[in-house]
């Protein structure tokens, strides 16, 4: 006997084989196709049982009828013992039990071969068999069973020899198997073998996904998608939040779970080629933010306002020229400096958004235009990105290829906490959007094959899972913009005054919009640090807390702390915890 790739027993019997060989091969074939043959084997079993009971106990038919009714009740209530979880599956199982049990009761009383029982049994096999043979989940379960049996051969062929299937389940879109890798193999090896696995399993190209097991480096989940769950656009059903403090639902992953991500105190970067759906994702985000009464939205759209103008009724400001964009970004820096000063004087260490004290989000469509045509705006955006988190002033930028040039000379890209990659042309562009090494780790943005499909990297979302964003149509945009315009909050007084002050300084200094002042970043972190040290609790503040408060790097913080310590203004309370020295605290208390 020969075995094929999936270990299917072929019925080729060598010359001189014995009857036992033939029977063995037939037995294996019957076993392999037991699921498909189930309607026939059930009919044969019923026929035999009917004949036997009719001969021995023809009076037992009422017991058979009662047992049938009891079993049908259990199936209807629980789905057991057939694991019928869906309503349609349960209805089928109840019908099958009633038909089989009813026929058996009749056969016990009348005899299996008494007319019309054989004909009725044949019709029942057909009526029950058709849904059985065509049922997608049953066929999928069979495929999974066979794959588990054949996995050792497949694994050997695709270069993952020694890996084992620990468990497998059929899900809505296909099936998934949890596998254990041979010692020394890693999830990266599995990711690198995805095309070979697809070939080995005989799936369509692009059907296999690999997810690491967060609890075990030597295990992974292989998902096989029989159908693409993202084949159709996913209609927009309205905003998912009413406050910036809640995570926004951008779309759905392939397992139908929602993509939820918080934009509070986080900068975000959206990248992808023209037509990949960047504006679509931006619209989903803006439509959600517009419904939040604790965030003020500013927009920059240097493509003449083409993308953001439909939202103008919800935007507190919209810049469509380089000069306006520069003023806008510079005002944002003014706001964050005013907030930092106010917080330095008070007891709060972060700006907690509320309708009275809203967060500020600056949305830039096609950031490359800004970096190229308004470099001073890009410098200011850089400053916001470094210092704005704690002060709830954040940047949200979309661009085609976020190269260093497209993102300006600063460190903006490295400050982006949320990265959304739509389709890219070149494989390595995934690294540009998502960060170095992401392509090798399986973030294959070049394989996304429809607009609105994306990969997202953010806090709590650190595996490459494909998602598709909601489709917000032009009509949806007009509807949402009109719906939320009345609740849009103004800037708080402090921030509004900061904008006014910046304007006055501009007028007094005569620096026109095309020559805005460059903000000196070094002044404010210094006072923010000093204020934080003065306000620190007795046990002091940690370095990450000081980084958060000032928006500055660790090395900068260390250097300033050493300075303060040398001047006896600050002390290290315990390892890595700092606060102002006691005289200052006492003076403040007095």
Ligand X SMILES: Nc1ncnc2c1ncn2[C@@H]1O[C@H](COP(=O)(O)OP(=O)(O)OP(=O)(O)O)[C@@H](O)[C@H]1O
Chain residue whose CB lies nearest ligand X: 452
Nearer to ligand X, 264 or 319 (CB): 319
Q: Does 277 bind ligand X (CB under 6 A)?
A: yes
CB of residue 469 to ligand X, shortest distance in Å: 4
CB of residue 269 to ligand X, shortest distance in Å: 14
Residue 488 and residue 289: Cα distance in Å, rounded? Answer: 10
Nearer to ligand X, 233 or 573 (CB): 233
Torsion angle, CA of 215/220/221/223, rounded to 10 degrees? 150
**β-strands 268-271, 393-399: how paired?**
parallel
272 known ligand binder: yes
CB of residue 385 to ligand X, shortest distance in Å: 22
Q: Which among 287, 295, 281, 285 has a CA at the least distance from the CA of 245?
A: 295
Nearer to ligand X, 156 or 449 (CB): 449
Q: Does 346 bind ligand X (CB under 6 A)?
A: no
Residue 332 and residue 14: Cα distance in Å, rounded? Answer: 83
Q: Does 471 bind ligand X (CB under 6 A)?
A: yes
Interface residue with ligand X among 176, 278, 339, 444 (CB under 6 A) is: 278
Nearer to ligand X, 23 or 235 (CB): 235
Tell which positions 65-94 bind ligand X, by CB under 6 A. Answer: none
Residue 343: other Cβ atoms inside 10 A: 20
479 known ligand binder: no
Nearer to ligand X, 480 or 545 (CB): 480
354 known ligand binder: no
Tell which positions 246-275 bind ligand X, by CB under 6 A. Answer: 272, 274-275
Q: Which among 550, 513, 193 has a CA at the least distance from the CA of 383?
A: 550
275 known ligand binder: yes
**Binding segment toward ligand X, per CB under 6 A, in 84-92, 468-476, 498-506, 520-528:** 468-476
- Please state, in angstroms and as integers, the Cα–Cα distance from residue 429 to each residue in 74, 306, 401, following that order: 56, 26, 7
Q: Does 276 bind ligand X (CB under 6 A)?
A: yes
CA 77 to mean position of chain CA atoms: 35
Q: Does 399 bind ligand X (CB under 6 A)?
A: no
Q: Does 43 bind ligand X (CB under 6 A)?
A: no
**Binding segment toward ligand X, per CB under 6 A, in 9-17, 91-99, 277-285, 317-325:** 277-285
Q: Does 451 bind ligand X (CB under 6 A)?
A: yes
Q: Does 376 bind ligand X (CB under 6 A)?
A: no
Q: Does 42 bind ligand X (CB under 6 A)?
A: no
Nearer to ligand X, 384 or 448 (CB): 448
Q: Does 229 bind ligand X (CB under 6 A)?
A: no
> Which helix (DSSP H) or strand (DSSP E) does residue 165 occupy?
strand 164-170
Report, in angstroms and rounded to the nearest whole number, the Rg of the chain calculated over CA atoms. 33
Give the chain's count of helices (H) and strands (E): 20, 18
Nearer to ligand X, 185 or 283 (CB): 283
Q: Does 495 bind ligand X (CB under 6 A)?
A: no
**Binding segment toward ligand X, per CB under 6 A, in 123-131, 313-321, 463-471, 555-563:** 463-471
Residue environment code for 430-441, b if the CB has 16+ CB neighbours within 10 A, otherwise e: bbbbbbeebbeb
* DSSP structural state of residue 422: -
Q: Does 508 bind ligand X (CB under 6 A)?
A: no
* DSSP structural state of residue 487: G
Sign of the Cα pseudo-torsion (441, 446, 449, 454, in order): positive
Q: Does 469 bind ligand X (CB under 6 A)?
A: yes
Question: Residues binding ligand X: what is the number (CB under 6 A)?
Answer: 14
Nearer to ligand X, 269 or 296 (CB): 269
CB of residue 86 to ligand X, shortest distance in Å: 28
279 known ligand binder: yes
278 known ligand binder: yes
Nearer to ligand X, 247 or 469 (CB): 469
Interface residue with ligand X among 212, 280, 353, 358 (CB under 6 A) is: 280
Residue environment code for 524-534, b if the CB has 16+ CB neighbours within 10 A, otherwise e: bbeebbbbbbb
On whether the CB atoms of residues 261 and 461 are closer than 8 A, the answer is yes
Nearer to ligand X, 421 or 458 (CB): 421
Residue 302 and residue 9: Cα distance in Å, rounded? Answer: 66
- Please state, in angstroms and as integers, the Cα–Cα distance from residue 125 to each residue in 100, 101, 130, 315, following that order: 10, 13, 8, 66
Residue 75 and residue 81: Cα distance in Å, rounded? Answer: 7
**β-strands 577-580, 393-399: how paired?**
unpaired
Residue 233 and residue 471: Cα distance in Å, rounded? Answer: 6
Nearer to ligand X, 280 or 516 (CB): 280
CB of residue 328 to ligand X, shortest distance in Å: 21
**Residue 81 preceded by cis peptide, ω within 30:** yes
CB of residue 431 to ligand X, shortest distance in Å: 19
273 known ligand binder: yes
Q: Which among 291, 294, 269 has a CA at the least distance from the CA of 281?
A: 269
**Binding segment toward ligand X, per CB under 6 A, in 148-156, 213-221, 375-383, 467-475:** 467-475
**Helices 34-56 and 117-134, packing angle to 10 deg:** 160
CB of residue 481 to ligand X, shortest distance in Å: 17
Residue 229 and residue 419: Cα distance in Å, rounded? Answer: 23
**Binding segment toward ligand X, per CB under 6 A, in 41-49, 202-210, 276-284, 558-566:** 276-284
Interface residue with ligand X among 143, 279, 415, 550 (CB under 6 A) is: 279
Q: Residues annotated in the binding site, as ranges?
A: 272-279
Q: Residues annotated in the binding site for ATP, as ranges?
A: 272-279
Q: Which residues bind ligand X (CB under 6 A)?
A: 233, 272, 274-280, 451-452, 468-469, 471
């Amino acid at each position: 006997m020969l075995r094929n790739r999936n270990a299917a027993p072929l019925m080729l019997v060598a010359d001189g084989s014995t009857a036992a060989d033939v029977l063995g091969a037939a037995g294996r074939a019957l076993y392999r196709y037991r699921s498909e043959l189930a309607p026939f084997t059930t009919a044969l079993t019923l026929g035999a049982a009917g004949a036997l009971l009719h001969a021995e106990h023809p009076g037992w038919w009422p017991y058979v009828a009662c047992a049938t009714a009891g079993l049908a009740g259990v199936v209807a209530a629980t789905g057991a013992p057939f694991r019928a979880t869906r309503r349609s599956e349960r209805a089928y199982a109840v019908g099958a039990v009633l038909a089989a049990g009813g026929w058996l009761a009749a056969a016990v009383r009348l005899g299996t071969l008494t007319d019309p029982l054989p004909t009725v049994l044949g019709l029942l096999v057909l009526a029950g068999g058709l849904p059985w043979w065509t049922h997608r989940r049953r066929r999928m379960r069979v495929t999974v069973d066979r794959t588990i049996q054949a996995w050792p051969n497949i694994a050997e062929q695709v270069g993952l020899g020694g890996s084992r299937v620990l468990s497998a389940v059929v899900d809505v879109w296909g099936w998934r198997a949890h596998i254990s890798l041979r010692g020394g193999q890693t999830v990266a090896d599995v990711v690198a073998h995805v095309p070979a696995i697809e070939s080995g399993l005989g799936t369509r190209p692009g059907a296999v996904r690999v997810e690491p097991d967060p609890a075990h480096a030597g295990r992974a989940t292989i998902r096989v998608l029989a159908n693409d769950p993202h084949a159709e656009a996913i209609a927009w059903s309205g905003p998912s939040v009413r406050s910036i403090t809640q995570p926004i639902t951008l779309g759905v992953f392939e397992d139908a779970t929602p993509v939820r991500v918080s934009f509070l105190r986080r900068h975000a970067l959206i990248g992808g080629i023209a037509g990949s759906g960047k504006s679509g994702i931006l619209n989903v985000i803006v439509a959600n933010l517009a419904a939040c009464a604790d965030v003020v939205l500013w927009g920059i759209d240097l493509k003449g306002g083409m993308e953001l103008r439909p939202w103008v009724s919800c935007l507190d400001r919209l810049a469509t020229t380089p000069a306006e964009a520069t003023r806008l970004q510079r005002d944002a820096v003014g706001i964050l400096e005013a907030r930092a000063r106010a917080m330095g004087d008070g007891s709060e260490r972060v700006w907690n958004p509320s309708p009275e004290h809203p967060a500020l989000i600056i949305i830039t469509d096609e950031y490359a235009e800004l970096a190229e045509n308004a470099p001073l705006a890009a410098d200011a955006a850089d400053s916001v990105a470094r210092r704005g988190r704690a002060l709830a002033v954040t940047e949200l930028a979309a661009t085609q290829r976020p190269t260093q040039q497209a993102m300006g000379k600063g460190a903006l890209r490295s400050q982006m906490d949320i990265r959304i990659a739509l389709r890219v042309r070149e494989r390595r562009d995934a690294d540009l959007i998502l960060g170095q090494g992401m392509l090798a780790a399986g973030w294959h943005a070049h394989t996304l094959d429809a607009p609105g499909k994306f990969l997202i990297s953010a806090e709590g979302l650190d595996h490459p899972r494909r998602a598709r964003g909601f489709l917000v149509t032009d009509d949806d945009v007009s509807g949402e913009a009109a719906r939320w315009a009345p609740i849009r909050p103004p800037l708080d007084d402090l921030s509004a005054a900061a904008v006014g002050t910046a304007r006055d300084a501009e007028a007094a200094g005569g620096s026109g919009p095309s020559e805005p002042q460059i903000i000196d970043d070094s002044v404010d972190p210094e006072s923010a640090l000093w204020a934080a040290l003065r306000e620190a609790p007795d046990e002091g503040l940690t370095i990450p807390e000081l980084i958060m408060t000032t928006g500055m790097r660790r090395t900068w913080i260390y250097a300033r702390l050493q300075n303060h310590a040398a001047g006896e203004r600050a002390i290290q309370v315990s390892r890595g915890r700092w606060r102002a020295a006691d005289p200052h605290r006492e003076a403040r208390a007095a």
